[in-house]
Structure 1
Amino acid sequence: MKFLLLVVAVIVLVWMLRGARRRDDPLPPKTPRPDAGAEPMVACRLCGVHLPQHEALPGRGGVFCGEAHRAEYEKQHPAA
């Protein structure tokens, strides 16, 4: 029984010392990551899917998600 009390006392002592050390050495405050800059999103003129502006293909009448949609839109809407 005395041995069990000794083990419990040692565990409590270690737990208290670790807690005190944590309070003395707090973690540095988290700094927000620098934002790389949100890129504007655009919608495909034919299907409406949204994609980053740098991935969009410009065409007559707007921007498109791919070459097939650009060609299909330009076929449906010939230049006047």
Structure 2
Amino acid sequence: MMKLLLMLVLLAVVFYMLGARRGRPDEPEARSKPQPPAPPKEMLRCAECGMHLPADEALPGRGGVFCGAEHRNRFEARQGQR
């Protein structure tokens, strides 16, 4: 019975030490400065539907930039009919 009580006390001390160590503010991770936010991306408007999207995701085409291949094809087909 005494051995069991001793084991429980030792386990409680170990868990307490692990928990206290995780929350210490003097660890390097907690002291590091927060990173500044990323700069805003340039936004472009789809020539077909008008939706705004980041420039690096836009598809170039005849007549502007597009949000997807379907809109680019539809726009270019309509322009070819004129």
TM-score of the superposition, structure 2-length normalised? 0.52
- In the other structure, the counterpart of 2:41 is 39
How far did residue 59 of structure 1 move?
4.5
Which structure 2 segments of 5+ residues have no match?
Answer: none
Q: Which has the larger radius of gyration?
A: 1
Aligned Cα root-mean-square deviation (Å): 3.3
Identity of aligned residues (%): 27
How far did residue 4 of structure 1 move?
0.9
Higher helix share: 2
- In the other structure, the counterpart of 2:76 is 71
Aligned length: 74
Tell me, what secondary structure is at the counterpart of 2:30? coil
Which structure 1 segments of 5+ residues have no match?
Answer: none
Relative distance call for 1:21 and 1:45 in structure 2 (3 A) is closer
Tell me, what secondary structure is at the counterpart of 1:12? helix
TM-score of the superposition, structure 1-length normalised? 0.52
